[in-house]
Every structure is written in structure tokens, then in C-alpha cells.
Structure 1
């Protein structure tokens, strides 16, 4: 490439390295590489250096005098057009801010306590998590790193420490912060400091002569190939070049190459420098320059600075398709610096809820526990303690054998356990389900006290709303968090409601004996109904139904709404069908008409029977259909919204306001009738 032969000698390169976009000075200064080189030489050696420089300039001028045409090959065959699916993009401030917020929400820290010091290591993210190509590439450059500047530390002993420390990158590439304290940190307020490139997009074509006063020319040399000419100092500021098809889409790049040659201004400059060097050499020969100081002063007074436009670059860009225009992305200066204030916490699975924090002895590398004040409460005698669950840890020997330990907070000891945890989950603050061995019989333990609530003798145990279903020999019973039995071991299934339990005992005829029990274990239904729907909810009423078999077919009659004492409040015999209550109203179907209306908790019809479909009431409105048209109506049967189509699916829950209605036309609405998703034709 011509670029490599323009300035073949080190000192000429040094002179040219002063090129910038600033207005050139009249002469070189004392920091010029030529002047610095003379400082290390004798006068005779300096003369020889000037002679060598002159020979290099002569060669360069002779080479540049050749009428050199930068030829570009053309193609006779057109390639298949391929568009770039991931073109370079300048993101808006709002887009960047949104991504940065999502990005910073994932940042966590882990604290390693080595009394009397600690190290914080930040993680949970990488630059690729941004999914913003230009930002990611910008951050990957060494001059534009992410910085976390700590502002405040909130400690577990309820104190707050102001800090201005900036994280550093350790040998493994992690952001870390070292500080002099063994106190555990609950959270941090940090300044997330990041920069955004100052890049501008330009479209150039055959009519373009300059961009922001910089001379740029465009020449189409083939259907898929163009040549762009610009000052060489712009090279480092061009972030990306892309070809635009006539339909406006970005073409995939096929190839790119660049050459350069001196400008006329540079050639004139080199002739002047050659003349100055020749005259200076004669002065040395004629003894008019007698010392190095004389030589330096002469050069400082006569050698001009390198011109700004020292070289012109010719870039040939080819694409996989016919090029209409070229898009240039040019860096316009220093990136914009931004700061976002963020609260960072440790990962939830490593948070201690009772004031014991793993720490490591700096001498032995053994682990133990410190308290919130940073003082040892369990001496460091264990290998690599790791948190498993509140009160449970493991230590690993050199042969990678794990030993599980229970933290006894009464006497500050770590004790080996003779059981395993069924799930790494703690219920109701301190209860764990245990196993005698993996996949073995199960039991319950109070993890805080170590008290066995149920021995490991049961087939299965699972937790539901503060209670434990305990299975044994195909029967289930119910226990509370204190290990007290609430319902005996005689049922096939037990469902825990908010303030009651539904029990089922299977019969040979396929119809279960189903009852409702209070929280104290009292049966309030005594076999009167075989099925219940929903929960008592806000209305305090549950839908009770009778199951029966007729002509070998199972039927269900929704018979009544009963209260939490088992008393019938609303008899449903006069209706063909009923739904459960939601926000004070229940849909019912009239016998004979097959139309729906709504009743209140007193059993009064408050919305007449006029709808072909009627769904749960949300806080304000319910979805109904009439004459194949969908509406949202309020509790006074007034139409709030008419939908453009009926729903093909919906998500509904009782006593809430979380509904979504997905229509056949592709639109989706929420419980308030607000459009969440537009249809295909919107």
C-alpha cells in the first residue's frame, strides 16, 4: 500500500505525527522527534542523520512524481443481493437509558471477608448483556471502561459508611473493591459511570463534496463497488462504513481495502524540508553551524510543522448487491460521560438472615463466621465453607468430599447432620423438609432450633400456604409449622384454602366424599356436597355442588353458595348454572333462556339475563358477549367499552383486576379496557 512508503524514515514519521485537526504551528518545537534525536548525537552524527533524511525525502518525491492511478477491478457478473441483518446503529438516549437500567438491575456483589479486611467483587453482568452493538464495542475499548464508584455502604450492624472508592479490575477481569473492614455489607449505593460514543451518521453519494467542512468525494466504480476519498487523519474517526441499497436497506459487506498517497500540500512541504536540510548541511560544512545547540536553533527557526492534510486515503468498498449510497458513521469527538445512581445488593441466595457471615482467616485460609461487628463467633477451622440455605452450609475436603453442616446459633457451633435436605428451601421462616437419605423417607425439622417436628418416616411431604401435606401409605394428613397435626391421616387429598381446607376421600363409584374443614379441624359440611369451586374470597361464599351418576354418566349440580360456617346463603336450584363470586358478583345462567346475568352476595339479580357469555367481574368491569359482540360492562350494567372483536382467549382471576382479553383480530386489552397489543392491521 502507498501508505507504507510515504514516510519511510523514523524522523519524518515523527514530524508527521504532529498532524492533528488543529491549525498547524509556524515551526516545529523542542518536543519534535528530530530535535530530541539531535540531543543524543554528536554534530557529525546529526549531519549524517540530516543527509539520510534528505535521501529518504528524495526517494519519496521521486516515487510520488510517478503518475499513479489507483485502479479498481470491476465485475462482469452481478452477485445475489444480500442485506445486513444487523447493521450499525446509533441508539437514542431513551433506548440507551432503558438498556442501562435493565443492565444495572442485574449487577450484584459478593463480599469476601478476611479479617480485618474485605474484598467486594461485582458480577451478574457483562457488556454483551446490553445487546446494543455500538455501546458494547465502545465499552470493550480500553479507553472507555465501565466504572463503579462507591458512594455509601450500608452495613449489617445498621451503620452507614460514606465512601468515594472506584472499583478496579483484578487479574481475572472482575471489578473489585478492597477495603479495611470485616463488617458485612447489606447493600451499596454506587455511581455507575459509563460513556456513550459521540458518533454522527452521514449519507454520501456522487453529489457529496464535503462533510462538516472535511473534503470527501464519492466515485462509483461498479454496480456493487465505490471509492471514497478523504483526508487520512479521518481514518481513525470512521467507526463504520455501510452500503445502502436503492430500497433503503443496508447491504452486507463483501470487502473493503484502503490505499493512500501524499497530498499536494504534503509534497510541497517535503520539498521545503529537503531544501532546508540541504542548506543546513552546507552551513555545517562551512563551519557556520558549530555546535548542536546552533543546529537545533537553526532547525527550530526554519523547519515548518507538518501540514494537516498530509495524506489522502482512497477506500474501496464492495457490497453484496447494487450500491445506491454510502453511510458513514464518524466519531465527532470525546464520548459523553453519564452517571446512573444504583443500589446494589448481594445475591439473595447468599444473604444471611440471622447475623452470621462466612469469613476466612488470612493465615490458614480456613473458614468460620464473624458477626455484624466483624468479630469471630465461630473460629475458622473449616475448609471452604459455602452457603446452602439459612442455617445450612457445606465444607469440602481436598478429595472433593462434601460434608453438610447445621449452624447451631444457640451455642455458636457448626454440627454435622445425619439427614439431607429434600429441597433447598426454607418455609415459614425456619422449617425445612428433610430426607433420611436421597429419595428416602421424609420429615420436618425446625432449622433454627434443630428440633425434629416429624421424623423421617413419611412417603412424601409438600408445603402449601403455611401447612404441610404429609403422605403415608396412600393417605395424607395435615400439619402446621409447629409439627401439630390439624387433620388426621385418612384422606386421599387435602387442598389448603385461605382460611379452610377441602378434603377428599375416594369412593369406588368415582365420586369422592368431599368436605370443608375449618383451620381448627372442624367439619362444616359433613358430606352434604361432593364438590367445591373457588375459595370463600372477598364474598365469604364458596360454590358447593352435588355430584351424582345417572345412566352411567357423572353429573354436577351447582347447588348453593355457602358461608364459612357451612350455612346455605344462596340456593341455586332456580338457575341452570352458576359461576364463583368475583369482586362481589357471580355470573348465573337462567333456566330455559341459556342467557347469563349476575347476582350479588344476597342472591339478588343485579344484572339481567341478556348475555350469551359472562366472565368474572374485575374491580370495575366484566367481559360479556351479546349478539356476537363483546363488551366491558360495569356493575350497573352500563357498557363501558365495545370491543372491535370477540375474545379467543383471556386470563382471569377472581377478586382481582389482572384480566387480559385477546381478541380474534390480534388485539389484547387489560381489565380497564386499555389496548396492550395492537392487531396485525393497526
Structure 2
């Protein structure tokens, strides 16, 4: 039964003026409160009630029974799975180490308990004890030399997170890894057995009592603490099986020490009603003022007893309850955690917070200030670019920090367009989405001015779009090519460009990384060579559709000449294999020396896509094998037929073979969609 105390206290705060009708309504409120207190008072005198009740039950119904919920006995934490990451916030003269999500250790693997147990009992969390700290400079120190004793007082909980564990250490050096032990408040349990004859126990120094036993329904009086420590219960049928729990309900009951105060409160309300009925109060405000002035003093009431009734699938013969008893166990395995994560840590320097002033600056690996802590906030873009604000109202600006950390310069609205650093350079833009340029992070100089439409990096080359011209720069920003091109493809060590008036299918020119046109005497389709050091080119043959194929190296030298009297078609190299088709119609593969590596006995074949190529081979007069072969020509996976479509799926980062829309294989031959 719910206590109607909210209503009792609410009447004391009405201040509006009213007439006699409102006074009557307030009297009704007081009477309702008196009735509620009377019902609470009766609960203190509840006696044990045992009666037959509903006992109808089918013993042969397997669905009426369940497994025991008795908890396991735990001796110690034998193994800890270290999957936590940690972060470091440098706060000179200290560093704050954070082990993230320490409430999410793999309890199932560690203790054999399920997540539901820890959801229900959140206080059973690990306590981590720091053992040793290893720094990136190769040194290490034991925890007792580093830990700050009054860390909680110094931090003032500003950095605390409910799910994380923090250590404040006396060092500003970058931490490489940490070692710690885990201490776990593991629950052992105490078992008690209730029967109609055994009705009372003392558990964890508090009483638990049986209050009713009627057929399938059993009621108990708990303290709140004991109810919270109840791990589970088994309702045992007379045949020894465990009954299903069908439901429960509960009522809160204030402690017995508050009974007299409730009785005095009820008496005061009754006297107030009598006085009100004699018209001693003309308005509801007068009545409320009287209650506020003369209300008996009440201690803060928070129910700490609960009357709870349980309903089971059948009539139990005994109830077994399991109550938690907390015991601390220390892991006998030392955890070493070197999975670094978080805060503003970067490779060479870190954003740090001065512990006293709470201002931001930048420190090196040794924890020495490179940029003095004079800023309201600093954010790192990469090792060299930072945004910084002097105060809360400052819009901020971009800053460049030199490689040696001696130069810290405001570069205004020049900001990195790509966060990645390419050697000594980074692509920048003038204002967000503004014109692009290239900045030398070592010298602090703009080597390509911010006047370009776009700049991106492809296979270690800078591609600069400036109005109608495309400029290709090497890794040192020196020009390789410049011109107006319809298309550009880069596949190291080759650059394919399509001039404005060239044929889209055969007009590509192939350049090497030195800017030499190695295809000026040949034609090229501009296909990617998939990492090969040779490029496929051709010359027109005698017939309209005949081609004479050649494979060139990056200097433009002919490495392989494909015999036009033997082969009618050649494909680019992929994974060191090139597909050729003989004049008689059979396919095979050669290596980069021009030697046959997979025999020409294939009646159909496609290029290697990843580690495998799809082929069709005639095994007997009546049987044709279709599937994937490896780089040596050995069968890898047989398919049910030749795909009508094959390609590359960016979403799954995998090749695929679509046989008929109902059967699809991935690039390794795994079935990803079966027939419906």
C-alpha cells in the first residue's frame, strides 16, 4: 500500500483565499489522510497468516517448473581479461590517467555470471589498484612513487565519470602503458529456508520474516537493505522441483520507530477537523495557516521496510532465499594495459592544463612546456596545427607549432583542409571551404598559395585543380605535369591522363612519376594496373579490331611483347598475373616475366580480383567446372554457374560474383545470398 504522505504535506502549502466550500474540501483531504494513517498503523500489527488457499496444480506440467537461481560460489577472481583502454590528460605538475568503462569488464568470462546480475546489483564494481607506470622515454616507476594521496580533494570530482577509474600521478611525462591489479567486491551468498514452521531469520544483522502462506501465494516482510541484497529465491515444490514465479506486489512500510509520530499526526488532523466544523476558520487560508503553525514535528520519512507478496505456478513446500554477502578478492593476475586512447594526446606533443590556473598550453613527451599555459582552450588538428582561444569570448585562431617546438605562430584563418600530414606538407585552406594551398610544416611557409579550387593527394602525389588546369606535384611539391585534362588516373608508378580531344577508350597518355610520357608511341585504355610495375599498351594490328600488345616498365622499356600470331587479347597485370586469350579461344595467365603460370586450358576466365580469379574449365566431355582458382591455378571454390555480373562493393570492401540475383558469392567464394 502506498503512503499518502505527499498529500499530507501538500495541504500545508495552500495559500489561496477561499470560501466555506473550499474549507470543506480541505476537511475531506484531512479525513482521507487520517484513513491512510489508520491503514498504515494496522500493518504494524500484521500477524503470520497460514491457510490452505489455492492449491490446484498439475504436477505433470513441465512449463510450471524452472531451474534453480542459486548463485555460484566464488572463491577468487582467477583471471581478468584486459580489454580496457586508458587515456592521459597532462595537468602540470600532474597527469590524470583514466581507465575507461571499468564497469564493463567481461564478467561472464571472469566469474561465470551474467550481465543481468550486475545490472541488478550495480554496487558490485571493480576497484583498480595501480601498480606501475611505464613512460614513452623508456623509464618506469612504481605507483607508490607517483600517486597523489589527496587526488580526490585536488580534482574536486570535475573530471570524474561514473564508469571510469582515475589515477592522479606526480608526472607530466607521456605514459606508454600501465600495470594494475583488480580488486573485486564479489558476492558470496547466505541461504535461508522458509517453511510454515520456520518463519524468521536475521540476515546481515536485519530481520526477514514470513507474513503469509496461502496456497500459491507467500508474503514476506523485508528491510529495504535486505531486499536489495536478495540475489534470488527458489520456490520448491514437494517433488523437489522449482516452481515458476508468476508475479509479485509490494507495499512500503515506515520503520516501527515512526509509528508514534504517525499516531500524533492523525490525532492532530482529527482535532483540526473538529475545530473547522465549528466554523472556526472562515477561509481555507486561515485553515492552512493553522496547520502550518501547529503541525506536529515529523522526522524525515523514508520507508525502510517492504511487505512483498509472491505468486508461484504451484503451492511451494519451502522457500529458499539467497542473500548477498560482499567479500573483496584481489585478482592474482597483473593487468598490463598499453592500449592508449583519448584526450588531446598526439604523437610528439600534447595539449595540457596547468593544474593551478586551469589554463591550456602544449607540452612535449617529457612534460615540458612548449607553449605556455595562457589559453582558455586549445584543440589539436595534427602535430603542427592547433586552434586556440585566449578567453571564453575569443573566436579563436589557427596556430602553427614548429617541429622543434620553438616557434608558435598565429597563421590567422589558414586552417588544415586535410588533417593528414604528407611528409613535410599539409593541404590547407583560407577559411572554411575557401581556396586551397600547401603549407610546409617544417618551415612554416606556404609553398603553394591558397588560390586553388581543390587539392588532394593520390598515391603520394598532390593533384591541384586551378581553374581549368590540373597540376600534378611530386611528394616534394615539384611539378610533374600540368595541363587541361578530361580525366586523370594515378596508379603508382604510372599517371594516366586523357587530353581534351582524345578518344575516351584509347587516347590515354601514360606518364611516370618523373613526368616522362612513356606511351607516346602506343595507345592505352587507361586501366589501372593494380599495383603492377608494368603498364599494358598496344598498337593497332592489320585488321580493324586487331591489337598488338606490349607491357612496359616505368621507364617506357618493353618488358613483354605479346605474340599477335598466338594471342588475340591481353589484360593488365593484377596480383602478378595477366590474363591472355589465345587465338583458338582458350585463356591462361602469365607472370611478370612472360612465363605461363596457369595453363591455357580455360574456356572462360576473368582477371584476378583480390586473391582469386573466376574461371570456367572443361573437365570432361559432359562436365564444366566453374569457380575460383588461386594464384597457382588450384581450385578454391566451385560456383553453381557463371556470374552475369561481378564487381566491387564499397560498402563491404569486397569483390562479389552475382550468379542470378538469387545466389551471390563474395570475393573469397563465401555464399552471401542464397536462393529464396
Q: Same fold (TM over 0.5)?
A: yes
- Structure 1 distance, partners of 2:187, 2:127, is 19
Distance 1:335 1:532, change over 3 A: farther
- Structure 2 distance, partners of 1:155, 1:331, is 41
How does 1:328-407 map onto structure 2 within 5 Å?
334=327, 338=331, 339=333, 341-344=335-338, 346-347=340-341, 350-354=344-348, 356-396=349-389, 397-407=391-401
**By how many angstroms is 1:156 displaced?**
4.4
Alignment of 1:598 with 2:576, yes or no, is no
**By how many angstroms is 1:176 displaced?**
2.0
Post-superposition CA distance 1:383-424 (Å, at most 9, x none): 323323212222222215222222245682422113332435
RMSD of aligned residue pairs (Cα, Å): 5.9
Q: Which residue of 535, 538, 545 corresponds with 1:542?
A: 535
- Structure 2 distance, partners of 1:545, 1:467, is 27
Contact 2:131–2:181, Cα closer than 8 Å, also in 1: no
Distance 1:475 1:100, change over 3 A: farther
**By how many angstroms is 1:479 displaced?**
1.2
Instruction: Specify the alignment match of 2:578 in structure 1.
Output: 586
Contact 2:510–2:519, Cα closer than 8 Å, also in 1: yes
Q: Which structure 2 segments of 5+ residues have no match?
A: 2-41, 57-62, 64-68, 192-209, 236-242, 254-306, 618-622
Instruction: Specify the alignment match of 1:191 in structure 2.
Output: 180
**By how many angstroms is 1:118 displaced?**
0.9
Contact 1:153–1:162, Cα closer than 8 Å, also in 2: yes
**By how many angstroms is 1:467 displaced?**
1.6
- Structure 1 distance, partners of 2:537, 2:368, is 60
Instruction: Specify the alignment match of 1:564 in structure 2.
Output: 554
- Structure 2 distance, partners of 1:126, 1:544, is 60
Q: Which residue of 485, 493, 517 corresponds with 1:491?
A: 485
Instruction: Specify the alignment match of 1:469 in structure 2.
Output: 463
Post-superposition CA distance 1:91-147 (Å, at most 9, x none): 9x9xx9999555x1xx23132322xx2131415536469797944752885653333
Post-superposition CA distance 1:278-323 (Å, at most 9, x none): xxxxxxxxxxxxxxxxxxxxxxxxxxxxxxxxxxx9852469x9x9
**By how many angstroms is 1:645 displaced?**
4.5
Q: Which structure 1 segments of 5+ residues have no match?
A: 2-59, 76-81, 83-87, 203-216, 244-249, 261-312
Instruction: Specify the alignment match of 2:49 in structure 1.
Output: 68
Instruction: Specify the alignment match of 2:167 in structure 1.
Output: 177
Instruction: Specify the alignment match of 2:143 in structure 1.
Output: 163
How does 1:562-641 map onto structure 2 within 5 Å?
562-566=552-556, 567=558, 569-571=560-562, 573=564, 574-575=566-567, 577-591=569-583, 593=585, 595-601=586-592, 602=594, 604=596, 606-616=598-608, 622-626=613-617, 627=623, 629-633=625-629, 637-639=633-635, 641=636
SS at match of 2:417: coil
Distance 1:458 1:616, change over 3 A: same
- Structure 1 distance, partners of 2:546, 2:82, is 53
Contact 2:664–2:673, Cα closer than 8 Å, also in 1: yes
**By how many angstroms is 1:335 displaced?**
7.6
- Structure 2 distance, partners of 1:679, 1:528, is 44
**By how many angstroms is 1:523 displaced?**
0.8
**By how many angstroms is 1:67 displaced?**
7.2
The aligned length equals: 517
Distance 1:360 1:610, change over 3 A: closer
**By how many angstroms is 1:496 displaced?**
2.7
Distance 1:97 1:368, change over 3 A: same
Distance 1:588 1:485, change over 3 A: same
**By how many angstroms is 1:454 displaced?**
0.3
Distance 1:258 1:166, change over 3 A: farther
SS at match of 1:449: coil
- Structure 2 distance, partners of 1:582, 1:445, is 36
Question: What TM-score do the two structures reach when normalised by structure 2?
Answer: 0.59
Contact 2:89–2:352, Cα closer than 8 Å, also in 1: no
- Structure 1 distance, partners of 2:101, 2:442, is 34
Instruction: Specify the alignment match of 1:150 in structure 2.
Output: 130
How does 1:188-267 map onto structure 2 within 5 Å?
188-191=177-180, 193=182, 195=184, 238-240=230-232, 255=248
Post-superposition CA distance 1:587-632 (Å, at most 9, x none): 3344564x5332333154741233444552866x654344564455
SS at match of 1:531: coil
Quick one: higher RCO (CA 8 Å, sep 6+), 1 or 2? 2
- Structure 1 distance, partners of 2:663, 2:369, is 62
Instruction: Specify the alignment match of 2:87 in structure 1.
Output: 109
**By how many angstroms is 1:163 displaced?**
2.1
- Structure 1 distance, partners of 2:672, 2:435, is 53
Post-superposition CA distance 1:228-258 (Å, at most 9, x none): 9999999666535799xxxxxx999754559
Q: Which residue of 489, 496, 499 corresponds with 1:505?
A: 499
- Structure 2 distance, partners of 1:467, 1:127, is 47
Contact 2:86–2:99, Cα closer than 8 Å, also in 1: yes
Question: What TM-score do the two structures reach when normalised by structure 1?
Answer: 0.59
- Structure 2 distance, partners of 1:331, 1:511, is 77
Distance 1:235 1:342, change over 3 A: same
Alignment of 1:451 with 2:445, yes or no, is yes
